[in-house]
Amino acid sequence: LTRMYGPLTALSNVQVDVMTALVSFDRVFEVLDLKPMIDERPGATPLKGVGPRRAPAVRFERVGFRYPAAEEVSLASLESIARTDTAPSREVLRDVTFTAEPGELVALVGPSGAGKTTITHLVSRLYDVTEGAVRIGGRDVRDLTLESLRATVGVVSQDAHLFHDSIRANLLYARPGATDEEIVEALRGAHIWNLVASMPDGLDTVVGDRGYRLSGGEKQRLAIARLLLKAPSVVILDEATAHLDSESEAAVQRALKTALAGRTSLVIAHRLSTIREADQILVVQDGRIAERGRHEELLLEGGLYAELYRTQFAPQAGRREPEPENEPEPMGA
In eight-state DSSP terms, residue 143 is: G
Q: Look at the alpha carbons of 112, 118, 120, 121 in this order and tell me if their dihedral is positive or negative.
A: positive
User: Which amino acid is residue 204, in one-letter code?
Assistant: D
Provide the 3-class DSSP secondary structure of residue 181.
helix
Yes or no: say if 58 and 135 are a contact pair by the CB < 8 Å rule: yes
Does 240 interact with ligand ATP (rule: CB under 6 A)? no
The angle, 0 to 180 degrees and rounded to 10, between the axes of the packed helices 12-31 and 2-10 is: 120
Q: Under rule CB under 6 A, which residues in 75-94 are in contact with ligand ATP? A: 80, 83-84, 92
Closer to ligand ATP at the Cβ: 263 or 270?
A: 270
Please report how close the Cβ of residue 144 comes to ligand ATP at its closest, in angstroms. 23
Yes or no: say if 107 and 274 are a contact pair by the CB < 8 Å rule: yes
Does 144 interact with ligand ATP (rule: CB under 6 A)? no
Closer to ligand ATP at the Cβ: 13 or 241?
A: 241
Please give the angle made by the CA atoms of 160, 163 and 169, to the nearest 5 degrees.
110
Q: Which of 283, 258, 242, 231 is nearest to 107 (CA)?
A: 283
Figure out which of the listed residues 58, 114, 240, 282 binds ligand ATP, where binding follows CB under 6 A: 114
Does 282 interact with ligand ATP (rule: CB under 6 A)? no
User: Which amino acid is residue 9, in one-letter code?
Assistant: T
Does 271 interact with ligand ATP (rule: CB under 6 A)? no
Helix (H) or strand (E) holding 179: none
Choices 106-114, 182-190, 192-200, 251-259 (CB under 6 A): range interacting with ligand ATP: 106-114
Please give the angle made by the CA atoms of 195, 198 and 204, to the nearest 5 degrees.
90
Closer to ligand ATP at the Cβ: 115 or 137?
A: 115
Does 117 interact with ligand ATP (rule: CB under 6 A)? yes
Closer to ligand ATP at the Cβ: 109 or 225?
A: 109
Please report how close the Cβ of residue 4 comes to ligand ATP at its closest, in angstroms. 16
Yes or no: say if 57 and 101 are a contact pair by the CB < 8 Å rule: yes
Please report how close the Cβ of residue 156 comes to ligand ATP at its closest, in angstroms. 15
Please report how close the Cβ of residue 319 comes to ligand ATP at its closest, in angstroms. 21
Does 56 interact with ligand ATP (rule: CB under 6 A)? no
Task: Tell me how far apart the alpha carbons of residues 332 and 206 are, in angstroms, rounded to a whole number.
Answer: 17
SS (HEC) of 245-311 = CHHHHHHHHHHHHHHHCCCEEEEECCCHHHHHHCCEEEEEECCEEEEEECHHHHHHHCCHHHHHHHH
* Most distant CA atoms of the chain, gap in Å: 59
Figure out which of the listed residues 56, 102, 110, 132 binds ligand ATP, where binding follows CB under 6 A: 110
Does 270 interact with ligand ATP (rule: CB under 6 A)? no
Does 138 interact with ligand ATP (rule: CB under 6 A)? no
Please report how close the Cβ of residue 108 comes to ligand ATP at its closest, in angstroms. 8
Please report how close the Cβ of residue 179 comes to ligand ATP at its closest, in angstroms. 37
Figure out which of the listed residues 60, 67, 305, 313 binds ligand ATP, where binding follows CB under 6 A: 67
Task: Tell me how far apart the alpha carbons of residues 277 and 261 are, in angstroms, rounded to a whole number.
Answer: 12
Choices 116-124, 138-146, 229-237, 305-313 (CB under 6 A): range interacting with ligand ATP: 116-124
Does 118 interact with ligand ATP (rule: CB under 6 A)? yes
Please report how close the Cβ of residue 103 comes to ligand ATP at its closest, in angstroms. 24
- Interface residues with ligand ATP (CB under 6 A) are 67, 80, 83-84, 92, 110, 112-118
